[in-house]
Structure 1
Amino acid sequence: MRQIVLDTETTGLDWRNGDRVIEIGCVELLNRNLTGSHYHVYINPERGIDAEAVAVHGITEDFLTDKPKFRDIVDGFEAFVRDAELVIHNANFDVGFLNHELSLLGRAKLDVLCAGVVDTLRMAKEQNPGKKASLDALCDRFEINNSARTLHGALLDAELLADVYLAMTRGQESLIMTLEEPVPGSAEAGGVLVERPPLAVLRASDEELAEHARVLQDIVKATKGSCLWIPPASEAGAPAG
């Protein structure tokens, strides 16, 4: 199971108003383990950046002047995320921006390129209704060190989100079953198949049956006839008076 934890930074809040992606950060999970593989790029948006956005992520127009444009990095981005499940906090925001960038180049959108999207913001709200669900709040809840997060940054936020996601879904790894994995002890797993001998059936002797009946009669006397192990005469096959 390959998952890509993804985050973006943008020039503003709405791609419909012409805002663009300026940073993409991704980290890879394979069977719920961080592989160390990541994808990170700054992008020249070919437009200005809102002052409010700069206050959030600290990325300026001057910094992005010599950075590649989205059309220059799209092949590498698609190759990294292709066929993986995406894990994104507030997925509608990032997916909307990335789909817009892809559509400007006539490329397939993420729902075609990837295997699906997990929205950790929605997941957090479902798990803890009414509680704060920002990335910082989740880091606090799951005791994940986010002291380096003085400003938003796509790669750092993706790394933090990966830790948050694993903490939020802890226990699900026991539900992951590999169909190709051999059954422990089987020949495929290197074990030796041994034919079991038939089970021996030990029947009570006449003496043991007589002793058992005697004990039951003692119980009948002690309980004045209410012994559960002795059925009524009609049930035992005795003729009904």
Structure 2
Amino acid sequence: MRQIVLDTETTGIDPKEGHRIIEIGCVEMINRKLTGNTYHQYINPMREVEEEAIAVHGITNEFLKDKPSFKEIAPAFIEFIKGAELVIHNAPFDIGHMDNEFQINRCSISQTSEVCTVLDTLALARQQRPGQKNNLDALCKVYGVDNAHRTYHGALLDSEILAEVYLWMTGGQTAMSWAHESEGSDPQKKNAPRKVNVSGSLKVVKASADELSNHEAYLDKIEKKSSTVVWRDVSAD
């Protein structure tokens, strides 16, 4: 299954008020593995970026002056997403802007739905965590995803973060590993045993008395909330 985790940045909120896309960031996953294939593009919107928007993403009008228009980048962008399931947080926002760009630029498609299906991770999060805060920063905290380097919203960075969050939301994180790491060149050998060469003897480092004491104190806390502590059962054997 080919999925494209996608995010956009824009000049403002509503495309009906003339707001445009200024950045697109995408990362590709196949069978829940990152392939390393990405799409990233800044775009000249042919209009001013609102100050409120600049405060969010940090992309200035001066920076965008020499960037290509959406019409120029559209063929390559459409080719990249074609046939994939798009994974987007708050998908109606991004899809609304994308469809607007396709239409006003008279692209080869007029709607994203002509070439892609869409999965909205915000809708998914609301199903899993009703009544709770489900923006991307909140979900990073819930699933332990590091977003400390996220000073501003950026389309490619947010796509990479969302990819990790999505994997946790949908069955656990096995795969911010890359596709080639687990599959290799021969898929028949991906689960084959691998020989490890070890020279000399392995050094065994035992826990100190303080560490053992802290461990027992932690197990005491667990035992207060549970009828049994499996680690003690194993130790007893």
Instruction: Give the TM-score of the pair, scaled to structure 1.
Output: 0.70
Please give the alpha-carbon distance, in whole angstroms, between the structure 1 residues aligned to 2:105 and 2:152: 30
Query: What is the aligned partner in structure 2 of residue 169 from structure 1?
Result: 170
Unaligned runs of 5+ in 1: 174-241
Indicate the RMSD between aligned Cα atoms, in angstroms: 1.3
| Identity across matched positions, percent | 56
CA shift, 1:162, in A, is 0.3
Please give the alpha-carbon distance, in whole angstroms, between the structure 2 residues aligned to 1:113 and 1:84: 8
Tell me the amino acid that sits aligned with residue 114 of structure 2: V
Please give the alpha-carbon distance, in whole angstroms, between the structure 1 residues aligned to 2:81 and 2:173: 23
Q: Is the 8 A contact 2:4 2:27 kept in 1?
A: yes
Aligned to 1:8, the other structure's residue is in SS state strand
Query: What is the aligned partner in structure 2 of residue 24 from structure 1?
Result: 24
Please give the alpha-carbon distance, in whole angstroms, between the structure 2 residues aligned to 1:123 and 1:9: 22
Tell me the amino acid that sits aligned with residue 70 of structure 2: F
Task: Say how many residue pairs are matched.
Answer: 172
Please give the alpha-carbon distance, in whole angstroms, between the structure 1 residues aligned to 2:21 and 2:129: 31
Residues 74-85 of structure 1 mapped to structure 2, 5 A cutoff: 74-85=74-85
CA shift, 1:105, in A, is 2.1
Query: What is the aligned partner in structure 1 of residue 204 from structure 2?
Result: none
Aligned to 1:37, the other structure's residue is in SS state strand
Please give the alpha-carbon distance, in whole angstroms, between the structure 1 residues aligned to 2:165 and 2:21: 24
Q: Is the 8 A contact 2:11 2:49 kept in 1?
A: yes
Tell me the amino acid that sits aligned with residue 3 of structure 1: Q
Query: What is the aligned partner in structure 2 of residue 113 from structure 1?
Result: 115
CA shift, 1:97, in A, is 0.1
Please tell me whether residue 143 in structure 1 is matched to residue 144 in structure 2. yes
Please give the alpha-carbon distance, in whole angstroms, between the structure 2 residues aligned to 1:172 and 1:82: 26
Q: Is the 8 A contact 2:164 2:173 kept in 1?
A: no
CA shift, 1:104, in A, is 1.1
CA shift, 1:113, in A, is 1.5
CA shift, 1:106, in A, is 2.2
CA shift, 1:60, in A, is 0.4
Aligned to 1:155, the other structure's residue is in SS state helix
Q: Is the 8 A contact 2:167 2:173 kept in 1?
A: no
Aligned to 1:111, the other structure's residue is in SS state helix
Query: What is the aligned partner in structure 2 of residue 102 from structure 1?
Result: 102
Please give the alpha-carbon distance, in whole angstroms, between the structure 2 residues aligned to 1:128 and 1:75: 38
CA shift, 1:153, in A, is 0.2
Please give the alpha-carbon distance, in whole angstroms, between the structure 1 residues aligned to 2:166 and 2:134: 12
Question: What per-residue deviation string (whole Å, max 9, x for no partner) do you get for residues 188-220 of structure 1?
Answer: xxxxxxxxxxxxxxxxxxxxxxxxxxxxxxxxx
Please give the alpha-carbon distance, in whole angstroms, between the structure 2 residues aligned to 1:172 and 1:166: 5
Question: What per-residue deviation string (whole Å, max 9, x for no partner) do you get for residues 117-163 of structure 1?
Answer: 00000100110111110000001100000001010000000000000
CA shift, 1:171, in A, is 5.8
Tell me the amino acid that sits aligned with residue 26 of structure 2: C
Query: What is the aligned partner in structure 1 of residue 39 from structure 2?
Result: 39
Aligned to 1:12, the other structure's residue is in SS state coil
Higher relative helix content: 2
Please give the alpha-carbon distance, in whole angstroms, between the structure 1 residues aligned to 2:74 and 2:39: 12
Please give the alpha-carbon distance, in whole angstroms, between the structure 1 residues aligned to 2:172 and 2:53: 37
CA shift, 1:172, in A, is 11
